[in-house]
Amino acid sequence: MAVNSVLFCLALFIVKVNSDILCENGFCGRHIRQNPCADPAPDCDLNNGTHSGVWLPSPTICNCCKFCLPMYNKGAPCSIGGPGTGITVGRCGEGLTCDSTTRVCVRMKTKCHDAQDDYDARQARSQTGYMEVRPECDAKGNFLSNVCVPSQTCFCQSEDGERIFGEVANTGSVSMPCTCSRLFHKIRKTISTSVPFPVVSYRCTSDGNFNPVQCFDRKCHCVDKITGIKTGTDVVDLDEQGITDLPCYEADLDLFRPRNISQRPFQYTTPCYDSVEERRQLIGQSKKDGYNVDYFSTFTSINCLPDGTFGRTLINANGTKVCINERSVRIGNYEAKINTPQYDEMDCKCAISSSLLSSSERPHCCSNGNFRPIQCRRGSCYCVDSDGRQEGMQTADINSLPCYTDNWRNC
């Protein structure tokens, strides 16, 4: 099958569906008089430590009756369905599942629950650090959308606990649904590597939420920052109008705003997106000219982040690598020379976290902008992972730390 030389775009449309069955006015009153409703389970009205439930549309004609779905606690009898397995009205509650052997609600076996168990076991032995945070899981047993490092930053994570795009300063009351970042991550993991062109999905903001302006095929519209659902009816065709005509446009989120934004040709793009488009056009022209095209090596070096930027490192003209922010402005004096371990391992996570903090008590970074493996705070030192999260106990005796090296100060 021939492959069209077009840039593949993936637009996921989120539709809100109303589950109510519409019936004529007065029908339910007549129906209930003739067919009285059964009493709903009391769990929804109680909603306490032992009984809880969720109100749902009733599985009756026109949803006329009230229906409560009980949520069973750990150890309660349950059913997985099937002949001879018995029937229960409710289902196991958040973080629980019905054991296929015992037919009782048990805690789900997930990575997040395992991480919680490990933390709890170490805490029971007084082996958790004062900067460690117990992992938080959602109703399905997956990791919550973000994790916060005390006195530093909060960043987005996948359902499996993998750090993904999106980071803000930890102010103590951070709301980070990270819906855009998580969607971007899922798309990248789902799309086959055999797709010849990069897949362009939603554009995110630095906190992992949706950029309020989304564009596909030079047509732009407004979306909700949290859900990504289209809002309003305004649509801007960049061939005819400027992006500032959209009511949701925010100049601060336009990372590479042109000086003459109100003049043609109208754009809402980034240098990374432009590089992808430039190579796409080059491939298209090469095919027309009869050349054999290697799609995959052509785009290997381009990997746009969810906000449309190249990344947080930049290679200078002299070959050294430096840390940059989302606007390609250099951060501090962090750098690494080519053909060194510091160059290959450079991720600038510490440099970026430090740049987001206003406090004087910032993390210690290596010369290449990575987190120093040993962090010290208020008389105690401890080991951290590549994201700056404490691992193990803190101590005043640095030599006893498992991550200690003779040159630990000058990484």
C-alpha dist (Å) from residue 101 to 76, 306, 338 = 14, 44, 58
Question: What is the model's pLDDT at position 88?
Answer: 67
Task: Point out the residues of the chain with pLDDT beneath 50.
Answer: 1-21
Question: What is the model's pLDDT at position 1?
Answer: 37
Question: What is the model's pLDDT at position 85?
Answer: 56
Give the list of residues 6+ apart from residue 58 with CB closer than 8 angstroms, or none: 37, 64, 65, 66, 67
Number of other CB atoms surrounding residue 81 within 10 Å = 9
Task: Tell me the pTM.
Answer: 0.82
- 381 φ/ψ sector (left φ>0, alpha ψ -120 to 50, else beta): beta
Q: Are 71 and 53 in contact (CB under 8 A)?
A: yes
Buried b / exposed e across 32-66, counting CB within 10 Å, b at 16+? eeeeeeeebbebbeeeeeebbbeeeebebeebbbb
Question: What is the model's pLDDT at position 395?
Answer: 95
Longest dimension (CA), the chain: 85
Closest CA to 186 of 4, 12, 385, 349: 12
Q: Are 113 and 107 in contact (CB under 8 A)?
A: yes
Whole-number Å distance between alpha carbons of 398 and 408: 10
C-alpha dist (Å) from residue 190 to 80, 199, 210, 295 = 30, 11, 20, 19
Q: What is the DSSP letter of 152?
A: S
Whole-number Å distance between alpha carbons of 281 and 305: 21
Is 100 buried (19+), middle (13-18) or exposed (0-12) by CB count in 10 A? Answer: exposed
Separation of CA 45 from chain center: 35
Question: What is the model's pLDDT at position 299?
Answer: 58
- DSSP string of 3-39? PPSS--B--PPP-----PPP--TTHHHHHHHHSPPPP
C-alpha dist (Å) from residue 241 to 213, 248, 263, 264 = 14, 15, 9, 9
Question: What is the model's pLDDT at position 5?
Answer: 36
Question: What is the model's pLDDT at position 2?
Answer: 38
Number of other CB atoms surrounding residue 380 within 10 Å = 16
